Structure 1
């Protein structure tokens, strides 16, 4: 509840190195902005339109990837986000999936800008 009532890292990074978006059929939509230096997530911010679980998941996900390498950020699972939040209400696990997909989208946008191939999406 704390990450919903007091979300961290809300906003945009004007000169973001990678911007990713993800949405789900319930109308939740997340946009994430990454600042990357020396293969690490130096800063991460988000804008999310959605339910409390989507906002909390976005907030926690940005907290969890800051300072991580791109590989570590890519490997963040939705289960790890939910666990860090001490669980999500039944039927709201897809909100943590949304944050993972947005992170993947932002990392792949950054990789494309660097002339690298996009990483394959995990299933």
Structure 2
């Protein structure tokens, strides 16, 4: 059975916006999902606390490329705080929907943007000239971990108990929580 994509998805896949790299970026975020093979790298340039420029490179399916393109359009010109509020649901809605088996691409895109912003924030906090690349790789589950273990949230880097499905700080999904006994 063929996957049906919206005209918006097809447009962003065929004509992706903001592909490339930024000279001297202020933030670099990368996310990959080895299970599906998608890897997204976002670079941002920030001026006056606004995302002045955003470029991406994506290795993956058409949906992953379309998601990266759409997010780049959605985030450009927004304040850092507002760009952090872009969710996977927002992206899927702007693309006029994604097939169920491709919704994870919108998660990856939002995560890559948020990682680039976190990279920028870390650069500012540390007073660095060169940003540190923030990688998000949370493609594991919590099965087999003992009750009361903690996991570092890939989104905000806060330690959170693994028996919770969501980070206590940012509220984003951590993975598969272990079954209660």
Same fold by TM (over 0.5)?
yes
Q: Distance in 2 between matches of 1:111 and 1:15?
A: 15
Q: Deviations over 1:25-80 (max 9, x none)?
A: 21100000100001000010100000000000000000000000001100101111
The structure with the largest alpha-carbon Rg is 2
The ranges of structure 1 where at least 4 consecutive aligned residues each deviate by more than 2 angstroms after the TM superposition are 119-122
Structure whose residues are more often helix by fraction = 1
Q: CA deviation at 1:90?
A: 2.2
> Quick one: higher RCO (CA 8 Å, sep 6+), 1 or 2?
1
Match of residue 35 from structure 1? 45
Query: 3-state SS of the aligned residue for 1:114?
Result: helix
Q: Distance in 1 between matches of 2:99 and 2:13?
A: 13
Match of residue 106 from structure 2? 96
1:65 paired residue among 59, 75, 95: 75
Q: CA deviation at 1:110?
A: 0.6
Q: CA deviation at 1:5?
A: 0.5
2:26 counterpart of 1:17:
yes
Q: Distance in 2 between matches of 1:59 and 1:41?
A: 15
Tell me the TM-score normalized by structure 2.
0.65
Match of residue 66 from structure 2? 56
Query: 3-state SS of the aligned residue for 2:108?
Result: helix
2:10 counterpart of 1:4:
no
Tell me the matched-pair count. Answer: 121
